[in-house]
């Protein structure tokens, strides 16, 4: 049986006690670091914590490493538009992708991703005002494509409630989980009804 997708995913690039100690069965972890010299050692440490807390673990852009640490899935970033072979044959492995526009969404669907992180939903330091999607454009892209979506980018305590207006399964974040421990987001999830395809 295929593993179930969660409502929230934390993106991390290193072992961070402040975030790690708050992960749980409702919050998955996506390890996204391409330059770390001791990547396997760090990832092994994170994998042990995830296993202990029954949390999902995804490894970015590296199937071999994901299988080595017995991760739940692979995260395929937007810049990876190569053909993916064999990943979807293993029903124990989930595929999460990321996209910023229709072209990239189409690529992730072609790569047979189970769900897509669509970003940036809100204004972030990384993108200027013209590049974030906001509610209307985000929902339009979701309606055009028959795949499960997650919101990503610029999500904070002030705009968290706006996620209820989106056609999403859940969301991903980085800074939100640093400022607000994942376990304290329970009140939000209690009233969160995913509007998935």
Contact criterion met (CB below 8 Å) for 23 and 50: yes
- Asked whether residue 29 is domain-assigned, the answer is yes
Q: Where are the beta strands (DSSP E) in the chain?
A: 8-12, 27-31, 57-60, 73-76, 94-99, 115-118, 148-151, 170-173
Residue where the block lists tokens 């690039």: 13
Q: Residue 142's pLDDT is what?
A: 96
Q: For residue 140, what is the domain's CATH number?
A: 3.20.20.70
**100: number of Cβ within 10 Å:** 19
Q: Is residue 196 part of a domain?
A: no
Q: What is the reported pLDDT for 176?
A: 76
Nearest residue to 8 (alpha-carbon basis) of 127, 168, 140? 168
CB 13 within 8 A of CB 20: no
3-state secondary structure 29-79: EEECCCCCCCHHHHHHHHHHHHHHCCCCEEEECCHHHHHHCCCCEEEECCC
Identify the domain containing residue 87 by its residue range: 8-190
Would 1 be classed as within a structural domain? no
0.85 exceeded by the pTM? yes
* Residue-level pLDDT at 98: 97
Q: Confirm whether 197 is domain-assigned.
A: no
Give helix 102-110 / helix 134-144 axis angle, nearest 10°: 40
Query: For residues 124 and 176, is the Cβ–Cβ distance under 8 A?
Result: no
The alpha carbon of 16 is separated from its chain's Cα centroid by a whole number of angstroms, namely 17
Number of domains in the chain: 1
Answer whether residue 148 is part of any domain: yes
Which ranges of the chain have pLDDT less than 50?
Answer: 1, 88-89, 182-183, 197
Q: What is the pLDDT of residues 59-89, one digit of tens each?
A: 999 888 999 999 999 999 999 988 765 554 4
Token match 């969160």: residue?
192
Q: What was the pLDDT predicted at 1?
A: 35
């Amino acid at each position: 049986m295929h593993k179930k997708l969660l409502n929230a995913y934390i993106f991390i690039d290193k072992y961070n006690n402040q975030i790690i100690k708050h992960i749980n069965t409702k919050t998955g972890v996506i390890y996204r670091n391409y330059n770390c010299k001791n990547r396997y050692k760090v990832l092994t440490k994170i994998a042990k914590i995830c296993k202990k807390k029954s949390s999902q673990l995804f490894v970015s852009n590296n199937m071999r490493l994901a299988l080595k640490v017995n991760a739940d899935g692979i995260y395929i970033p937007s810049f990876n538009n190569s053909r993916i072979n064999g990943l979807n044959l293993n029903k124990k492995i989930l595929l999460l992708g990321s996209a910023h526009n229709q072209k990239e969404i189409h690529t992730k669907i072609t790569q047979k991703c189970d769900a897509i992180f669509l970003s940036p939903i809100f204004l972030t330091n990384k993108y200027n005002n013209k590049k974030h999607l906001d509610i209307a454009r985000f929902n339009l892209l979701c309606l055009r494509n028959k795949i499960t979506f997650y919101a990503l980018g610029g999500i904070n305590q002030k705009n968290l409630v706006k996620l209820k207006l989106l056609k999403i399964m859940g969301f991903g974040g980085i800074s939100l989980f640093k400022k607000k421990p994942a376990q304290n987001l329970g009140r939000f999830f209690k009233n969160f009804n995913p509007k998935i395809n």
